[in-house]
Amino acid sequence: MIGIISAMREEINALLEQLQDVSKINKGKRTYYSGILYGKKVVLVFSRWGKVAAAATTTQLINDYKIDEIVFTGVAGSIHSDLNIGDIVLGKNLYQHDMDASPLFNKFEIPIIKKTFIETTTNLSLINSTHLFLDNYSEYIDTSQANSFNISTPKVVHGDIASGDQFITTKSKVEQLNKEIPTAICVEMEGAAVAKVCYEYEIPFSIIRIISDKADDNSSIDFPLFANKIASKYPLGILKNYFT
């Protein structure tokens, strides 16, 4: 069974619409939707924003279901000049950019496990499925809606992600992240927490992030609208290829 998590309901609405033989369980103020998606047994849940919420949801999911793999999907802010709105980041290494237990530990190092980042599972099938989605982009994304967000030729990048309980909106903070974690190309609020839980439970983990904005002073996008009309269609296309 595959667990699919997002931070906002809007980000998985398109997947929920395709879910068959649906059953629901409510726990911890979350709704876990289990069923069949493109021939695969899955559980869908939106975790709410932030690392604590995401970790709690992931732990509940793993303990309540026989999970073989977890995929997190949702929007993220670009902190790399080459990433534009509509581009896809398949996460490689996940950092907690607000983890700082110095001087006892190095900055970003997670105490006890002695890691500064958590690696995702290398998944060539998911990478290929993402490229196939982009090859057939117009089948899933309405051209006029893409144009309204200035999306023209979206691409996929396999790169590092920085997570933290902060909404990054200033150029100075982006510059700080670029300096301290130079390999990170986007920023969000949940991925590293989910990755850590999966690491500790030895569950394969992948993350799909859709760039919704440049994480700086010009971040003014309508997130719920972008998530519902654009971002939710990305995992629909990618996972359809992945599962079939």
Q: Which of 10, 11, 87, 109 is catalytic?
A: 11
10 is catalytic: no
As a whole number of angstroms, the distance between CA 240 and CA 244 comes to: 6
87 CB contacts (<8 Å, ≥6 apart)? 78, 154, 155, 156, 157, 210, 211
Question: Is-contact 214 189, C-beta < 8 A?
Answer: no
Kindly state the helix (H) or strand (E) to which residue 78 belongs, with its residue range. strand 69-78
Catalytic residue among 10, 69, 160, 213: 213
Tokens, residue 187: 């920023």
Sign (positive or negative) of CA dihedral 8, 11, 16, 17: positive
11 has catalytic annotation: yes
Is the distance from CB of 244 to CB of 88 less than 8 angstroms? no
Active-site residues, by number, are 11, 213
